[in-house]
Structure 1
């Protein structure tokens, strides 16, 4: 059985790739620019670009299963090529936003577009829908490294951050256990935490204090626009404003799939302390 893994430069995709290799699976690592990627021992790197349909037949030839990131561009071409290649099962890294009822959100729309295309394709699928990534906190690494100081517009905005290792392990289990075909797993971390509390846990992992400065939403938007398109920046601000002071519900599908509780943010902070030093 050959498994194609997309997103291998990301934290989740790279963890899925390594876990499958360790499990003795035949794996292909998908990359838009294979020549730029470091070789992965135990996996062949192939060119795969949904926006370039000509790359799909070779990448998918002989592939039985795919771990897929939710990229709307070219998804119809992907499903057509996957059907033609005989792909049996796709595990999609989706998002809880797809279950939020807020179809006006560009993030929700993007994930729903991919989910609906897979549902319409006739290929067996499993949707893994995580909430907020613990690794979103890495956007704070620069300011924390530089000055042990962080500027936040909504320090009391809550999320239920999930470790990338849990997302990868659930995805790998879905790929290897056919009992999970057709399932949708909603996964979060074990607790709802404010941004302030996440910073405190990073501080604990560092063994040094980190100061939080509250800024206006306008200042925050200006900072986001340095690296995000305006619609995405506005969605982020709207999301944080809506979660300000409001604990979020957690989901228990990590335990359902893996037989253990989800990994807490304190452990994530300890695992990534070097990123903030």
Structure 2
């Protein structure tokens, strides 16, 4: 299989990790999109951190959060982009939620001070197969579903390919834009939010420094493949494969490293 041409920065959609992290590192973009998803008013975003790593203890599995946001009310929002259908998405959301809480406590806070938090997955597939654009989960009493646990945690799964009439037109356009981040698509939309988001996308795509950053990332790893499969211990191949997850598709990584596609897919799941 020949080495596949990497798309240019200008060809990326919002669903691509590089562009997603750059766009949502802007506090105002985060605020507006979160307000739309959650239907709440957020006065001010205190800080945004992209690719935040949480490594609690040596024995635990570290995670890397796509976007970690905290507002002035101390509410925490973790926003993740999910491309390609992954197994155990529900349990991954549970692990992320717990890791965010433990990271907060590790900084010296008591569990009674735990912040209200949202884990939000933006999926380019239907995670539950029901055709909804949005699936929101909170904890309820099984015997009396009018009784909430009130642990202030919410997990939300957005589906860019929903078909139900369960959200307003602006939300539908926003979700469609994730995979169609183009001038042509935006010209057909009425959503002011999508137009503002696209302005941010275009500024990033026109930023020569970011273009160099993106292409440098690609070229560094491309050189490692020009002489064929990577030789060495399995641990070394795994480490290289991890570095390539944002650069190449699973099949190419497997071919060049000698790992199986299943192993590469497992690494991708573990590193989301």
Q: TM-score, normalised by structure 1?
A: 0.29
Which structure features the higher share of helix residues?
A: 1
